[in-house]
Structure 1
């Protein structure tokens, strides 16, 4: 019995000694990049004005692709970067254009972030913005008289961040109000 106790004790001590060793640094630390985004309504944004009896719906993201953090920037892990992009969406809900205000004058590093945003945002799709006109018939029952899909635009802020040898691009929700955005 004493021999069994000694064997179990030695085994337990060996396990504890192994657990107390500091982890070895990995020689192949893989840096990664992520992105986040959230919808914004810039000051002065034009909106569709609905007439009496009109109702809008849609204009909500249906499919979103997260931008890829620029691999060329991971090595020096720059400070966080924000890119505001205006997504111009067709009446069918497809992104026709992605506009970034300072794109023409952007420095080389910022241009990499802008390119990542544009490449991802061009793959987004939205539930089409539909404007319906309702009216009441002679019996007082409401029904759709006319329905029309319309183009729209929405602005999003994309946030790129590098931390601890890795990068992150954060994501947020789209606006909750249908038809929210510029014409």
Structure 2
């Protein structure tokens, strides 16, 4: 019974990590709504949990919406998508923001990448914790070991402009890798 409970708990916890609700924080420079969109890149690597291990955390706690680059507002490019990998340390702080491979090579995206980096470095996440559960002789489950791990998530930041009005959005839809 204890083992079945642990397996059910693992499945529930992993499923909960897979989808985080969107809670936008508006930057004063933006005029419009914002939401977040996480994506899973083909090269994403996930933690492999051993039998009895459960992961929790890895969800955004505080997000800052990038400001639409003022230098690009006059051009009013209809849609610019920027892919960025957010590297998160064991305390839940974003320590690095890496552009997607194609984005890094595009000179026209540099102002959008800079805006994305500036905002994303202020994001905070619930630390990713991995607990190892085991059952005792009575079948009672308990945590025998716990650790926090760094992780990364890929996000698509969408910058849009219509008639001189800018909007930036990002939506959650993927798990931590």
1:63 maps to what in 2? 62
Residues 85-100 of structure 1 aligned to structure 2 (within 5 Å) = 85-100=84-99
CA contact (8 A) 2:83 2:103 kept: no
RMSD: 1.8
Is 2:47 the partner of 1:48?
A: yes
Equivalents in 2 of 1:173, 1:45: separation in Å?
Answer: 16
**Secondary structure in structure 2 of the residue aligned to 1:167:** strand
* TM, length-normalised to structure 1: 0.75
Equivalents in 2 of 1:64, 1:103: separation in Å?
Answer: 22
Using the TM superposition, give the Cα deviation of residue 164 of structure 1 relative to its aligned residue in structure 2, in angstroms.
1.9
Using the TM superposition, give the Cα deviation of residue 181 of structure 1 relative to its aligned residue in structure 2, in angstroms.
2.8
1:134 maps to what in 2? 133
**TM-superposition CA deviations, 1:10-42 (whole Å, max 9, x none):** xxxxxxxxxxxxxxxxxxxxx955665300011
2:26 maps to what in 1? none
Equivalents in 2 of 1:52, 1:164: separation in Å?
Answer: 55
Equivalents in 1 of 2:36, 2:163: separation in Å?
Answer: 21
Using the TM superposition, give the Cα deviation of residue 79 of structure 1 relative to its aligned residue in structure 2, in angstroms.
2.8
Equivalents in 2 of 1:73, 1:33: separation in Å?
Answer: 15
Using the TM superposition, give the Cα deviation of residue 165 of structure 1 relative to its aligned residue in structure 2, in angstroms.
1.8
| Structure 1 moving runs of 4+ over 3 Å | 31-37
1:181 maps to what in 2? 176
CA contact (8 A) 1:59 1:127 kept: yes
Using the TM superposition, give the Cα deviation of residue 173 of structure 1 relative to its aligned residue in structure 2, in angstroms.
2.7
2:106 maps to what in 1? 106
* TM, length-normalised to structure 2: 0.77
1:82 maps to what in 2? 81
